Amino acid sequence: MRGWLGLDDVPADWGRSVVTIGVFDGVHRGHQTLVRQAVDLAQELGVASVAVTFDPHPDEVVRPGSHPSQLSTPHRRIELLGALGVDAVLILPFTLEFSRTSPEEFVQIALVDRLHAAGVVVGENFRFGHKAAGNLATLRELGEKYDFVAVGVPLVSSLEDITSSLIRQHLTDGDVAAAADELGRLHRVEGVVVRGHQRGKALGFPTANVESAPHTAIPADGVYAGWLESPEERWPAAISIGTNPTFEGAVRTVEAYALDRDDLDLYGLHVSVDFLARLRDTLKFDSVEALIEQMRADVDEARRLTVSAG
């Protein structure tokens, strides 16, 4: 599977392809339906399949300061789209200049001249071009002009209410189980392990303090069960999000304790944290001893849930 950043990365000898287009933040179950139909059509036509996505999020460019929290990094998006069977993923840098491209200009420059589209598969509510002037009808008209078929995919009733915005709201509410159901997998937060106050180590529960990218969709403050994954290994984990109120903390952190492991040195590594279930709210304890007792209970519950989930 190939990954391209910008139209200039597309090989000059790239043949005809079926293209699907979207922000695809999270690559949730609705996105998966769309991408799989594009892959199926490409196989029917005997051509390659390409998923086109954008970075940064168009909202941030068109309305600065409105960047929604991000369900997946661009790199993770490429991984997820590739797992659905596409032959290539094209990330288009979304700039103010690009936002002013007319629907026909976008079709001609990106879909026709570079990707040589034989088919374009989009959701029925797809909008594109300057001020979202283009829609599915526009795409079909341009398809007749430029020799490609435009397919609008209706979302069946079980998927029509799945949106990235709704998943973000689930995470804001701390409902990682509902988010996972609509994503089709556990929600993931990625980042580099940095040094914190090392309070967890002192308490007997050394944690990886994960510094994520700006705009990452981080679940509500609380304690969760899930997994911590390094480039080489994956461990069941108890995960804490919050400001450590027992110690009068002010900075919000994501910290993951790999169950029963006090020998890990993950500093500087890029890791991921997958959220399985919410255990409880973040609490301020009257004593360190009370905190440790609760942490032991959290670890036991995280162990039970991760073992059950496999």
**Catalytic residue numbers, as ranges:** 255
3-state secondary structure of 55: strand
At how many degrees (to 10) do helices 164-172 and 176-183 cross?
160
Q: Are strands 149-153 and 222-229 parallel, antiparallel or unpaired?
A: unpaired
- How far is 32 from 18, CA to CA, in rounded Å? 15
- How far is 88 from 4, CA to CA, in rounded Å? 8
Strand pairing partners for 236? 227
Q: Which structure tokens are listed for 249? A: 């903390």
- How far is 47 from 156, CA to CA, in rounded Å? 27
The sign of the torsion formed by the CA atoms of 257, 259, 265, 269 equals negative
Q: Read off φ and ψ for residue 101, nearest 5 degrees.
A: -70, 130
Place of tokens 């944290």: 273
